[in-house]
Amino acid sequence: MNPNLELQQDIGSALAPNVIASAATVRPVTAFSFITGTVRIATIVPPSLAAHMLVFVFTDPSPGQFLSSGNVQVDVFPVQDFALLLIFDPRTAKYYPASA
């Protein structure tokens, strides 16, 4: 099996999405998470130190933005009920948002 596919399974791609309250630091445990609240997120604790992707869907009508002061490369302004894909680069230890 492709090791990258195994990694996605290791970080919970087969599990149901979890729900995370927005905070300055969030810790996803599955590849797909719902984010509640309006607190700005600066840091995502990587569930793996290898390259991986995370998907976040924000449930609040006015979600807080991602700040580039942590490990997200650029400020990101999420929109309620739209999937946000973030890709982790282990060389820089930063998440990069997929373009819309």
d(CA 47, CA 78): 21
Which residues are CB-neighbours of 27 under 8 A, at least 6 positions away?
Answer: 20, 44, 45, 47
Q: What pLDDT, on a 0 to 100 scale, did the predictor assign at position 26?
A: 97
Task: Specify the higher pLDDT residue, 1 or 50.
Answer: 50
Q: What pLDDT, on a 0 to 100 scale, did the predictor assign at position 2?
A: 44
pLDDT tens for 21-54 read 999 999 999 899 999 999 999 999 999 999 999 9
Instruction: Please say whether the beta carbons of 60 and 83 come within 8 A.
Output: no
Q: What pLDDT, on a 0 to 100 scale, did the predictor assign at position 4?
A: 47
d(CA 66, CA 33): 15
Q: What pLDDT, on a 0 to 100 scale, did the predictor assign at position 5?
A: 46
d(CA 94, CA 28): 15
Q: What pLDDT, on a 0 to 100 scale, did the predictor assign at position 75?
A: 93
Q: Is the alpha carbon torsion for 47, 87, 97, 85 positive or negative?
A: negative
Mean pLDDT in residue range 45-68: 94
* Domain with residues 3-97, CATH architecture: Sandwich (2.60)
